[in-house]
């Protein structure tokens, strides 16, 4: 499971890291942050996803990686719901423009599935730690 979740975040990170300007516009679509912050996040967040995805696969700083990815996914879900409630047309998801044609429900279903898996991995890592 670590491999799958880590791989998903590596893919999501790479796809956005290669086109940071596109991702900056995607972040700006949410109308939650000033452009100056959004554009800097567009350069940073893909690398954070990538680094954490690698951490999960290599099990190096595993729990730190899980913590960050869980927080990121939670924030992303909250931002998507807020944007939807505000009537904004959100054309991007956690996979940048690759997922721009997905419906909002499909976005949310995938994001919740990832969030639940991350929480499950967190719980299982805690249980393993207690056993040691």
Partner 1 sequence: MKVSAIRQALLLIALAFVPAIGEAIYFRDRVSWRSPDRSSEMVNLDQAQSWGANAIWVDARPDNEFEQGHVPGAIPLNEDRWNELLPTLLAQWSLEKKIVVYCSSQSCNASREVARRLRDEAGLKEVFVLQGGWETWLKSKR
* Cβ 113 to partner 1 shortest distance, Å: 22
Among the listed residues 5, 8, 55, 114, the single contact to partner 1 using CB under 8 A: 55
Among the listed residues 12, 50, 57, 94, the single contact to partner 1 using CB under 8 A: 50
d(CA 73, CA 92): 14
Nearer to partner 1, 63 or 84 (CB): 63
| Token pair recorded at residue 92 | 């991007």
Q: Phi and psi of 96, rounded to 5°?
A: 55, -140
Which one of 1-9, 45-53, 78-86, 109-117 is the stretch in contact with partner 1 (CB under 8 A)? 45-53
Binding residues for partner 1 restricted to 92-111, rule: CB under 8 A: 100-101
* Cβ 104 to partner 1 shortest distance, Å: 16
Q: Which helix (H) or strand (E) holds 33?
A: none
Q: Using alpha carbons, list the distances in angstroms from residue 96 to 24, 29, 125.
A: 10, 12, 29
Contact assessment for residue 71 and residue 118, using Cβ atoms and an 8 Å cutoff? no
d(CA 6, CA 40): 24
Residue 58 touching partner 1 (CB under 8 A): no
Question: Residue 93's beta-bridge partner residues?
Answer: 96
Which one of 2-10, 22-30, 76-84, 106-114 is the stretch in contact with partner 1 (CB under 8 A)? 22-30
Contacts with partner 1 by CB under 8 A lie at 17, 20-22, 24-25, 28-29, 31, 35-36, 39-40, 43-44, 46-48, 50-52, 55, 61-68, 100-101
């Amino acid at each position: 499971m670590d491999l799958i979740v880590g791989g998903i975040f590596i893919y999501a990170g790479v796809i956005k890291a290669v086109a940071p300007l596109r991702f900056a516009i995607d972040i700006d679509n949410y109308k939650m942050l000033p452009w100056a912050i959004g554009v800097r996040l567009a350069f940073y967040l893909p690398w954070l996803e990538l680094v954490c995805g690698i951490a999960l696969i290599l099990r190096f700083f595993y729990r730190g990686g899980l913590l960050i990815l869980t927080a990121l996914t939670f924030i992303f879900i909250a931002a998507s719901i807020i944007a939807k409630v505000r009537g904004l047309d959100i054309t991007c998801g956690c996979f940048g423009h690759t997922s721009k044609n997905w419906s909002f429900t499909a976005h949310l279903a995938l994001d919740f599935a990832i969030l639940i898996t991350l929480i499950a991995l967190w719980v299982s890592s805690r249980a393993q730690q207690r056993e040691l």
